[in-house]
Chains A and B, each alone.
Chain A
Amino acid sequence: MKPGKFGSWICARLPVLECWQAAFKQYYVAKNLNIYYCFGVLAIVILANQLLTGFWLTLFYTPTVQEAFQSIEIIMRDVSFGWLFRYMHSTGASAFFIVMYLHVFRGLLYGSYQRPRELVWLLGMLLFVLLIMESFFGYLLPWGQLSYWGAQVITAIFGVIPYVGDTLVTWVRGDFSVGQPTLQRFFALHVIGIPFLLMLFTVLHIVALRYVGSSNPEGIDIQRYVDSQGKPLDAVAFYPYYVMKDWLAVMIFLLIFFGIVFFFPDMGGYFLEPANSEPANPLVTPTPMTPLWYMAPFYCMLRAVPHKLGGVLVMTAALWILFLLPWLDKSKVRSMRYKGLYSKIALTLMVASFITLGYLGTREPTRVTQILAQSATLIYFAYFLLMPLYSRLESTRAVPRRINA
């Protein structure tokens, strides 16, 4: 399609065509990408949704202790389609984590973090941490009971650091306990600070991926066999093939997403918690005190360790150990399809333990569930810490040279 007059004027001044060629028409991707490979584009769609609906919400939201809760009720009741944007934003937050967890799982399954994609993985992990921070800051904004007390509990975590802990807690909160200064700075961080970083690192994440090329479920390096023009033999152009595939994935996702938004936005109390439907009361702690479902695995680990500082260290380590994954995996092959039995068992156990921790994190602890949570935490860490051992010792299958999709 040749650009018209206006198009030519732009193309003479911006490298639009060159970017289009490099990023879409002449970006070659393995022809065997499966459903796990669509969660990246879904994450971009959800990020766009959060930015747009979030911006819209800031037009009506008031970040003061006296009016925050009321402004959200006004959005839900009196603003035209306010309920739609609010539900899109809250469902989008949970959808973001579902998509992101599946996206990371794809990475674990197919060894996408291995050389030469370590930086893609690191940037992705950074995005994960930023997303957790973004959701935490955003959760205070409705100023409900769980919002207030959740912020109170999590900011108190900094207090375990020796010597500087208490000063740090006061500094983060802006006051001795969560209040107006906290709400205001969390609002600024949620609306400007973190989204800016999210957008920046998303761009870097995609650029880093495009630079080294996408992997595939077989873990085969498609650049090894190229034709006379340098096009990989086992690849297809991103446009039109994967644009079409992603488009279908986006359509199916939107159907499920809007099904939830219109018919079941609170998802049985997991996406929008009932206990947050009353304004914050500093004198009354809600029972039970549970985090949102997507933070539940890490919260469960924090709670499983009886020692305060130990719990914080374990929870933090659970997050940061993911960064080390490219250097923990000593396997000769990338994809789980060709890895040995140990890796398959380890990954299955890790996913099972993560889901168990997530479930237990939303429940009140008992003696039995505490033991279960501690075991699940050990299994989770074993996946990472034993990986240099079992990934090297196991017998892997020979990886084919070409993709026979």
Chain B
Amino acid sequence: MRKCFRLTLLVILVFLNQGACALGNLSAPHRGAIWFMNYCAGCHGMRYMSWERMVADLALSPHDMISVNAHLQLTMPDLSKNWQHLGLIETDASQWFGKMPPDLSTIGRLRGHRWLRAYLTGFYDDPGRPFGVSNHSLEHVMMPNVLAPVQLEMTPQEFTNMINDIICFLEYAADPSRLVRYRIGLLFMSVLAIIATAFRWKRLAHKN
């Protein structure tokens, strides 16, 4: 009876903490990392994520980083050596956008997947703005709608999948332990449950 209760509790906890992605999901953040490098990393930094960690965790290759869109013809610097320079430099950002685009290392925790989804899909035309767009989630935002050209080349489902992948990546970047604590947790708690149950049996046997 008690074991069932614990199992139910566990399942509920696992279910509740899905975020945009199931814990331990590798493929979505993998694709999201590639989207991020191609469309976000030009302006936004990711100072708390380490390149080696990301490449190892998400099984990325340098080729992945620039392979998304053949039209982009990117020649990127060796990111394993230049990771800390991701995004814009302060002077350029102030001149072009008025402020530095925020670092996105912890945005997955700070805003959560619901806000991020609403933001990325919430751009609308606003001729009065410097870049011609505003956003339902963040009024007077200085970010242009970077994904608009991509959206035109995709079906709505493909676009939704891309947004999902980006959000999964941002959630992973905010808390890389998401990939492993699920597995370690199950193992640890199974051992703990066995110890607790074995002890209970021993106690009952001792009583008898």
Residues of A participating in the B interface, judged by any CB pair closer than 8 Å: 70, 73-74, 76-78, 83-84, 87, 244, 247-248, 251-252, 254-256, 258-264, 266, 268, 272, 274-275, 277-278
Contacts and interface: CB of A to CB of B under 8 A. Distances in A.
Contacts, number: 87
A277 B111 CA distance: 9
Interface in B165-183: 174-177, 181-182
Interface string B67-86: 00000000000000000000
Interface stretch (B11-19, B129-137, B139-147, B148-156): B11-19
A258 B16 contact: no
Contacts of B111: 274
Given A263-B23, A263-B182, A278-B110, A251 B9 contact: no
A258 B106 CA distance: 24
Contact of A278 (B10, B49, B106, B188): B106
Contact of B199 (A78, A251, A274): A251
B6 A255 contact: yes
A77 B51 CA distance: 12
Interface stretch (B27-35, B89-97, B118-126, B190-198): B190-198
Interface in B96-111: 105-106, 109-111
A258 B182 contact: no
Interface string B153-164: 000000000000
Interface of B: 2, 6, 9-10, 13-14, 16-17, 23, 48-50, 53, 105-106, 109-112, 174-177, 181-182, 184-186, 188-189, 192-193, 195-196, 199-200, 203
A263 B53 contact: no
A268 B17 CA distance: 8
A23 to B, nearest CB: 21
A272 B199 CA distance: 34
A274 B53 contact: no
B185 A263 contact: yes
A263 B14 contact: yes
Contacts of A84: 177, 181, 184
Contact of B48 (A77, A83, A274): A77
Contacts of B14: 263
A254 to B, nearest CB: 6
A262 B188 contact: yes
B196 A255 contact: yes
Contact of B50 (A77, A87, A255, A268): A77
A244 B207 CA distance: 12
A277 B9 contact: no
Contact of A255 (B23, B105, B189, B203): B189
Contact of B188 (A83, A258, A274): A258
Q: Which of B13, B50, B111 has the most CB of A within 10 A?
A: B13
Contacts of A260: 13
Nearest to A70: B48
Nearest to A77: B176
A259 B199 contact: no
B167 to A, nearest CB: 15
Q: Which of B10, B48, B200 has the most CB of A within 10 A?
A: B48
22 contacts: A70-B48, A73-B48, A77-B49, A77-B176, A84-B181, A87-B177, A248-B200, A251-B192, A251-B199, A255-B192, A258-B188, A262-B181, A262-B184, A262-B185, A263-B14, A263-B23, A264-B16, A266-B109, A274-B112, A277-B106, A277-B110, A278-B106
B196 A248 contact: yes
Nearest to A78: B50
A151 to B, nearest CB: 19
A78 B53 contact: yes
A78 B48 CA distance: 10
Given A83-B177, A263-B10, 6 more contacts: A76-B177, A83-B181, A84-B177, A248-B200, A262-B181, A264-B13
A116 B95 CA distance: 73
